[in-house]
Chains A and B, each alone.
Chain A
Amino acid sequence: MIEALFVGFGAAALVSALLVILHRNPVTSALFLVVAFCSLAGIYLLLHAEFVGMVQVIVYAGAIMVLFLFVIMYLNLGQDREGGAATVLRRMIGWLVGALVAVQAALLFAGHWAMGPVSGAPETGLGNTQALGQTLYTRYLFPFEITSLVLLVAMVGAIVISKGRGSRPAPGASAPAERPPRLEPGDRAAPPDGASS
């Protein structure tokens, strides 16, 4: 039963990952990536990593991919239009490199050093979440705190980058460009001025 589930989830992950890179439309690629992430979460559940599996759905499938979809819809990207001889050559080289990586992985597995006989799940007597929490907050406390700093920097960075040049003067403007005044109800609509941001 568990093997069948694993084969099913694994096949779903691989097929949807393949469709991610093959589809023209970025939205469809993003949706197949969501399917791939959910299949991976299923595999994590089978490997007794329940907390990580659920967090995979919450973070990857539920937040990161929503952000991807948001950006794709915001930028209003249509289908990718590509063609020409250079494209075909580039694609052939890409698939060749991919085949090389796959062959390398196959050689690694044939070397019998990858996995020995395994005997089961981490047995600690505690639940998976509790054991994970204990390990995280004792042995890995410093990386945990640093990760919070990383997330803070990423948040600030994303906001600063996407704000653009809102407060700096536009190049070529005689006076510092200011933002158009807020319209109060009752004002006539201000004519658009030519100042660029």
Chain B
Amino acid sequence: MIPPGGPLIVSALLFTIGVVGVLVRRNAIVIFMSVELMLNAGNLAFISFAYALHSLDGQVVVFFVMAVAAAEVAVGLAIIVNLFRLRESVFVDEINLLKG
């Protein structure tokens, strides 16, 4: 039997690591990857509650989160590629002007 708070602790720590990644790294793609980490932490929390409360609603929500995350990654990476074409850089410190 899995300890009841186990998956939740893992989820919280993963979320924390994702937050640190977004704040510390300056590469837009790595920031995006940290956002994906946070999404997955949320997914893990949903699944662990679905396991504990004997309901499938958690798994259904995870299903939708995965679909939306896939859509978000597609559009986000397209934006990053376009930004790279414009600014020759993916570092968010250098992409800080709206003009152009």
Contact = CB atoms under 8 A, between A and B. Distances in A.
B94 to A, nearest CB: 12
A157 interface: yes
B29 A161 contact: no
Contacts of A49: 47, 50-51, 59, 62
Interface string B17-44: 1111101111101101110110010011
B2 to A, nearest CB: 5
Nearest to B88: A75
Contact of B40 (A18, A37, A139): A37
A126 to B, nearest CB: 10
Interface of A: 2-3, 6-7, 10, 13-14, 17-18, 20-21, 26, 29-30, 33, 36-37, 40, 43-44, 46-49, 51-52, 55-56, 59-60, 63-64, 67-68, 71-72, 74-75, 77, 80, 82, 90-91, 93-95, 97-98, 101-102, 105-106, 108-109, 114-124, 128, 131-132, 135-136, 139-140, 143-144, 147, 150-151, 153-155, 157-159, 161-162, 164
Which secondary structure characterizes the binding site on chain B?
helix
Given A80-B27, A162-B82, A60 B12 contact: no
A17 B37 contact: yes
Interface bracket on B = 35 or more
Contacts of B26: 80, 82
Interface of B: 1-10, 12-21, 23-27, 29-30, 32-34, 36-37, 40, 43-44, 47-48, 50-52, 54-57, 59-60, 62-64, 66-75, 77-82, 84-85, 90-91
Which secondary structure characterizes the binding site on chain A?
helix
Contact of A109 (B8, B70, B90): B8
Nearest to B49: A115
Contact of B80 (A10, A71, A93): A71
A67 B73 contact: yes
B21 A115 contact: no
Q: Which of B32, B48, B73: most chain A CB closer than 10 A? A: B73
A84 to B, nearest CB: 11
Contact of A21 (B24, B57, B69, B82): B24
A151 B5 contact: no
20 contacts: A6-B6, A20-B37, A21-B21, A29-B33, A43-B10, A44-B47, A48-B51, A56-B43, A56-B66, A59-B70, A60-B36, A75-B84, A75-B90, A77-B90, A102-B12, A105-B16, A117-B4, A122-B54, A131-B56, A135-B56
A18 B37 CA distance: 10
